[in-house]
Amino acid sequence: MKANFLLILSFWSLSLFAQNKYGLAPMKMDEYKKSIMANTDNELVNLEKYIPGLVLDIRYATTNNFTGKKIYNLARAYSRRPVAESLGKIQADLKMQGLGLKIFDGYRPYSATVMFYETYHDTTYVASPYKGSRHNRGCALDLTIIDLKTGKELPMPTHYDSFKKEAWPTTPVADPIIRKNRKTLIDVMEKYGFKVNASEWWHFDFIGWQKFDVMDIDFEELEK
């Protein structure tokens, strides 16, 4: 009886150790590799290599972000394979209009989400570490549209990572050009299986994100 109690206590202790202070135990590299063997949809794809002409502006690899700190050591954008496949279709669709995509962020390690929350506690704009984010699952993208001839971003209601109500996709926009640009982005993303975030015109969640686990794997680990 005592031995069984100690065994149960040991498993309970290990479980607590695996979890962080917010109660999650995000997937690490070993588990991630096993998940790919079970289902190739779980693979994190390097979007820059996968999609021709994709432009990256990974703000969290610089100090030009709301934290004022460099969060990533590498400027990379990853997503789960089905997300990347849909994004490739969006890029091709936009190209026919003389437009293209610029990516601000894709898959985000869970540790970055914790840092964001501890920097800015308003979960209207940052994800709760108690649940993890769609970014942590490789199923969310922060992006905008560029003009392929000039390489410039199309005017949008706010800058990226704005914590203002003007960034909400439902906020009325007086300028007809900006209103059209926002609609163009939302329409093309929704056409290929994404849903815009309620408080960020640039943030899109892949429909079906619930099937994927929260991960805490750095870009350096993915590139080994």
Residue 71 forms part of a structural domain:
yes
Identify the domain containing residue 113 by its residue range. Answer: 28-222
How much of the chain is helix, strand and coil, in % rounded to 5? 40, 15, 45
Total domains present in the chain = 1
Q: What is the mean pLDDT of the chain?
A: 91
Helix residue ranges per DSSP H, 39-166: 47-50, 81-95, 110-119
Q: What is the pTM of this model?
A: 0.89
Q: Identify the CATH number of the domain in which residue 138 sits.
A: 3.30.1380.10
Residues in the chain: 224
pLDDT above 70 coverage of the chain, percent: 92
Q: 37-72, pLDDT tens digit by residue?
A: 999 999 999 999 999 999 999 999 999 999 999 999
Mean per-residue pLDDT, 192-206? 98
What would the two tokens of residue 199 be? 């408080």
pLDDT top residue among 131 and 125 = 131
Residue 136 forms part of a structural domain:
yes
